[in-house]
Amino acid sequence: MHRKVIIIGSGPAGYTAAIYTARANLSPLVLGGTQSGGQLMITTDVENYPGFPDGIQGPELMEKFRKQAERFGAHVMDIDVTAVDFTVRPFVVRAGENMYSADSIIIATGANAKWIGLESELNLRGRGVSACATCDAFFFKGKNVYVVGGGDTAMEEAIFLSKFAKNVTVVHRRDSLRASKIMQKKAMSNPKISFLWNSEITNVLGEDRVTGVEIRNVIDGSKRVVPADGLFVAIGHEPNTILFRGHLETDARGYIVVTDRTRTNIEGVFAAGDVKDARYRQAVTAAGSGCEAALDLEKYLEEHHPEPVVESEIRNAAPAAPH
């Protein structure tokens, strides 16, 4: 089956690209993955997405994105892309048994936060365990929270959390931080932030909500349990680009390299959202980037795949015969 546009991914970037390309009459096919909707599907309250003054649940927001894309004719399929070939034109995208060709592609497969890998961490995700302070710090006003990690993200999360929480403790597995000096200085001079060195979280306690964490000293192996209201895991993110490695230029961390905001190194293939953005990682910035990719793609199609002029249009455009 041939399409003018295939969008791979169905988070805020993918659906926004779908809304814009559908409204441009490009009938996009969205291959959204079996777990469509992206990271917001595992988020509870979203309070920073503009337009929802009372907040909205992540899955509900994504359902609205999807409906809006479908309303204008986007075809969304909840299937995983299993292979791509960008060396041929039209491009080839395989999803299981299905094979598609496309004149242009938008990749919006997002990124995922890395987790420690504890069962208790998974069970309490969204109930005190989070990987996004910008999203969830507000719920920890006056609380006692722990942050895992020693990089810039961990410092940034700790500093942001300190505006709400009573105490923020950064737990780092070594005795020196990976974060930039300026971020280290900011975090270390913040009176609400303290550091636990050579330590790791080995368990998260709580039934319905986080009530404590178990901390292990990696030098002597000793463990202790401390009360906690929240645990923010800030040990990095991983872009979902395994499928594209070797097909597109990616940076050392696996993020797709773009020039001019959304253009990959292959003309006609665009990237939007967290898959190319290690910095902002917000639903609203991903949505904005999906819009940018759609507009860039429209321009590309106009230049490289112009609509064939229909005969009736030629006749209509022809000057009227003299009477």
**Contacting residues toward ligand NAP, per CB under 6 A:** 116, 148-154, 156, 173-174, 178, 200, 235-237, 278
CB 222: neighbour CB atoms within 10 A?
Answer: 10
- The angle subtended at Cα 18 by Cα 36 and Cα 97, nearest 5°, is 55
Rounded Cα gap, residues 232 and 221, in angstroms: 23
Q: Return all residues near 132 (Cβ < 8 A) that are at least 6 apart.
A: 43, 113, 232, 281
Set 54, 78, 132, 208: catalytic member = 132
- Choose the catalytic residue: 54, 80, 85, 135: 135
Catalytic residue flag (residue 296): no
Closest approach of ligand NAP to the CB of residue 281, in Å: 9
Catalytic pick among 54, 85, 136, 229: 136
Give the Cα-Cα-Cα angle 38, 68, 272 (nearest 5 degrees): 45
Respond yes or no: is residue 291 known to be catalytic.
no
Distance of CA 91 to CAs 86, 276, 301, Å? 5, 20, 14
Query: CA–CA separation, 200 vs 202, rounded Å?
Result: 6
The total of other beta-carbon atoms located within 10 Å of residue 12's CB is 30
Q: Which is nearer to ligand NAP, 236 or 254 (CB)?
A: 236
- Give me the phi and psi of 204, to 5 degrees please: -115, 130
Instruction: Give the CB-nearest residue to ligand NAP.
Output: 151
Nearer to ligand NAP, 36 or 199 (CB): 199
| Shortest Cβ 180–ligand NAP spacing (Å) | 6
Sorted by sequence, the CB contacts under 8 Å of residue 123 that are 6+ apart come out as: 204
Nearer to ligand NAP, 165 or 215 (CB): 215
Between residues 73 and 236, which has the closer beta carbon with respect to ligand NAP? 236
Give the shortest CB-97-to-ligand NAP separation in angstroms: 37
Our CB check for ligand NAP shows the closer of 151 and 212 to be 151
Max CA distance (Å), the chain: 101
Cβ 294 to ligand NAP shortest distance, Å: 27
> Residue 278 Cβ, how far from ligand NAP at the closest point, in Å?
5
From first CA to last CA, the distance across the chain in angstroms is 48
Could you give the CA distance from residue 105 to residue 86 in angstroms, rounded to a whole number? 9
Looking at the annotation, which residues are catalytic?
132, 135-136
